[in-house]
Every structure is written in structure tokens, then in C-alpha cells.
Amino acid sequence: CDWEFRRVLFRSTTGAGDVFCGAFSVYLSENHTLTESVEFANAAAALAVTRMGAQSAIPYKREIAL
């Protein structure tokens, strides 16, 4: 598979993997496809790395644009 990725100016990568895994799990559990879930998780992690901190960087679902 060829996955597209987002280019962002990052501030901190702390928690990016956790955000990706959490977002992927949530989206997949909502009966989205594997591809949709990866794209959603990628968008969530891309947004998270633009913020400082770990918990404070976790985006709300409504903030994640596909």
C-alpha cells in the first residue's frame, strides 16, 4: 500500500505514536476501513506534533481534518 503523509512543522514528537495508535484504534472500532483509519490516525498524529507536551498535544476528534 502507498500511504500518503502530511508535512507539518513540528514542535515536539512526544506522544505522536500514542496519538496515532489511539486514533487508529478508535476510528477502526467505529467500523471505518483500514485505509480510512490510517488516514485519520496520520492526521491526528500530524496535528499532535505541532503542539508541545504529551497530554496537552492530543487533539480532540473534532479538530482532526481529513
Q: Which listed residue (18, 26, 32, 36) is catalytic? A: 18
* 55, 35 contact by CB (below 8 A): no
Sequence-distant (6+) residues with CB within 8 A of 25 are none
- DSSP 8-state class, residue 57: G
Would residue 2 show up in a list of annotated catalytic residues for this protein? no
Catalytic residue IDs: 18
